[in-house]
Amino acid sequence: MIKSRWNKLAALLALMTAAMTVHAAPSAAAAAPSAPAAPKLTDQVAAILPLCASCHGVDGISSVALYPNLAGQKPEYLAKQLRDYKAARRDDAVMRPMAEPLDDAAIEALSRHFGAMPGAR
């Protein structure tokens, strides 16, 4: 079981490293004139969003009970959690490596991004 968890973590870290070099293209919905302006995402944030989506869902709603929904959460709450993971005040074998490379601007942008999404109904 522990070996499986470490293999999963290693795979996530490899995916994260690869994703940090990818630039996400803007979606067609974001380009629509009637759509509200989405928070501006840096390349770092756009690259990490697929990693967030792998557990928390593309729309911020997780399909797995183990992972929390991020959509509609208060941005201040999300930012605090990411900072706590980064500083090891909150320990999780998956989330800590995800949060460690994020700077304050990325944490704020991710928090605003998920906070602006509609929550689960």
Q: What is the pLDDT of residues 39-78, one digit of tens each?
A: 567 787 788 899 999 999 999 999 999 999 999 999 999 9
Q: Which domain holds residue 95?
A: 2-20+43-115
Axis crossing angle, helix 43-56 with helix 2-19, rounded to the nearest 10: 150
* Angle, vertex CA 45, rays to CA 42 and CA 46, nearest 5: 85
CATH number of the domain enclosing 67: 1.10.760.10
Residue 86 · residue 17 · CB < 8 Å = no
What pLDDT sits at residue 74? 97
pTM of this prediction exceeds 0.85: no
Q: What is the pLDDT of residues 11-36, one digit of tens each?
A: 544 444 444 433 334 444 444 444 45
- 103 domain residue, yes or no: yes
- 34 domain residue, yes or no: no
